Amino acid sequence: MVKAAFASWNDRIAPVFDVARWIQLVETEAGQIISQNRASVASDIPNQKASRLAELEVGVLVCGAISRPMQAIIRAYGIEVIPFIAGNLQEVIHAWLGGQLAESAVYIMPGCISARGRRLQGAHGTKRKQNMTNGQRQRKMGAGRGEGSGRAGRQGQKGTRLAQGGRKGRTPDNGTCVCPQCGYQQPHEQGVPCMQKKCAQCGAVMTRQPR
């Protein structure tokens, strides 16, 4: 029997587990759901939240964004963490049951594709080899194009950067910080994670919403 916890908020996966108040507990056996019930995990203190999951005998946690300290403490209890998941609660539960969460980008939080890529590389170990092969091929081709350290080489490199869109004065799209509790938004400050900010209206921890 496997018992999984799904961080929930308004019948969806809660966007930030660190401030989530409820989980949906799902017990499965032989690939079938045998029970579901709602449980409280109201504490914002990482140790207390993790010990609550252990008390409920949770083996797997499926959640949205989660801080590294919180994730590390939960994993120290022997609980598997599947982070950066978004979507309708029941749809995600059935996708997990069918082994589809690691195979589709449908349930990955916006802006978290890179995290999914790292997880898939760890599971399959093929993309990294392909990327290394492509990188070696590009370096070999570049070595034959006269990209030396002289003036001509520097001009060639500058032209390449401009051709790739490296224009001066271009303003980066930093996205928006959003409160998962009340919906309050404010511009994302570059270099400062949204999860380090608190909502000016209700005091909840903010989460990132890319443009």
pLDDT tens digits along 94-133: 999 998 887 778 888 887 654 444 443 333 333 444 454 4
Residue 40: inside a domain: yes
CA dihedral (197, 201, 207, 211) in degrees, to 10, reads -110
Residue 48: inside a domain: yes
Residue 164: inside a domain: no
What per-residue confidence (pLDDT) applies to 154?
Answer: 56
Residue 161: inside a domain: no
CA 79 to CA 211: how far, in whole Å?
A: 33
The parent domain of residue 7 ranges over 2-121
Looking at the fold, whether 6 and 96 belong to one and the same domain comes out as yes
Residue 20: inside a domain: yes
What per-residue confidence (pLDDT) applies to 139?
Answer: 58
Helices and strands: H and E segment counts in the chain = 6, 9
What per-residue confidence (pLDDT) applies to 138?
Answer: 55
What per-residue confidence (pLDDT) applies to 129?
Answer: 44
Residue 50: inside a domain: yes
Looking at the fold, whether 117 and 182 belong to one and the same domain comes out as no
Q: What is the CATH number of the domain that holds 31?
A: 3.30.420.130
User: What six digits make up the tokens of 9?
Assistant: 């908020």
What is the bridge-based pairing of β-strands 207-209 and 176-178? antiparallel
What per-residue confidence (pLDDT) applies to 156?
Answer: 52
Contacts of 143 (CB under 8 A, 6+ apart): none
CA 195 to CA 134: how far, in whole Å?
A: 35
Residue 160: inside a domain: no
Mean pLDDT value of segment 61-88: 95
What per-residue confidence (pLDDT) applies to 90?
Answer: 95
- Count of domains for the chain: 2
Would you tell me how many other CB atoms lie within 10 Å of the CB of residue 189?
A: 12
What per-residue confidence (pLDDT) applies to 123?
Answer: 36
pLDDT tens digits along 180-200: 777 778 887 777 788 777 887
CA 185 to CA 208: how far, in whole Å?
A: 10
